[in-house]
Amino acid sequence: MPDIAVRLCTTSQTRRFISHSQDELKQKAAEAAISYIGPKLDRKSIVGVGTGSTANCFIDELAKIQHTFDATVASSEATQQRLAAHGITVLDLNATPHLDVYVDGADEIDGLGNMIKGGGAALTREKIVASAANEFVCIADDSKLVKTLGAFPLPVEVIPMARSLVARALVSLGGQPIWREGVTTDNGNIILDVYNLKIDRPLDLERRINDVPGVVCNGIFAQQAAHVAFLAGDNGVTTLDASNP
C-alpha cells in the first residue's frame, strides 16, 4: 500500500500473510461495509448502491440483511437489475424522501477521500446518488489507495455532438483524451478517458472540467468525496476515516 499520512485503523487482527485474489478482497471490503452500516439501519432507511464488480459484492451481502431497511436507490440500470433479482425494493431517487448512506467502489482514492470513479461508465448517476446521501462509504481493495489521483485515466461523460470540442478543452488542461468507443452511458452519452493528468487539486479540476460546455459530468469525486473507506488487503481490512485525517 502506498505510504500515505492518514489515520488508518486496522479492523482485523494481524495475522500470517496470505495472498488473496482481487475478488476475495472486494468481498472482504463489502462485508466490512455491511458491518459498518448494518447497526445504523432501521425499517425507514434507504441505501444508495453503486455500480461495478465491488458494488455487486456489496449487493449480494446487502440481500442478507434486506429485512433491516426499507429500500434502495440504484446508480445504474445494471445495479437496479441485480438488486431486483435479490427481491430488494428499488426506488427512483425522485420519489425518495431521504438517503441514509451510499456505498460504492472507486478506481482510485486518496487519503482525503477524493476519488476517481467511472471505469464502469456510471459516473454521472453515481455522483447524483452520492450527493443525495448523508454518508458516502467507499469499498475497494487497498491497491486503489494513492497519494495523488491521476494514474487511472479520468472518465468524462460527454454529449456526443460535443466530443471534439470537449477533447480539445481537456488537452488544454494537460490531458490526453481517448474516446471509449462502443460505450454508451445509461444517459445516452459517450465517455472520454483522459490520460496523463496529475490531479493534485481535485476539487478545482473537477469544477473546471464540469464548466466545459458539453461535459455532463467527470469522474473526480471531490465535492462528493467519501466519508469513510474500507480497503481490503492481504493483512485485513483497513478503515480510512477521511473526516479525521
Q: Hey, which residues are catalytic here?
A: 126
Asked if 37 and 62 count as a contact pair (C-beta separation under 8 A), the reply is no
Asked if 235 and 15 count as a contact pair (C-beta separation under 8 A), the reply is yes
- Write out the three cell numbers for 112: 482525503
Beta strands at 215-218 and 190-195: parallel, antiparallel or unpaired: unpaired
- Rounded distance, CA 105 to CA 116, Å? 10
CA distances, 165 to each of 20, 195, 212 (Å)? 44, 17, 9
- CB hemisphere CA count around 213 (13 angstroms): 3
State phi, psi for 177 to the nearest 5 degrees: -80, 135
- Write out the three cell numbers for 179: 474516446
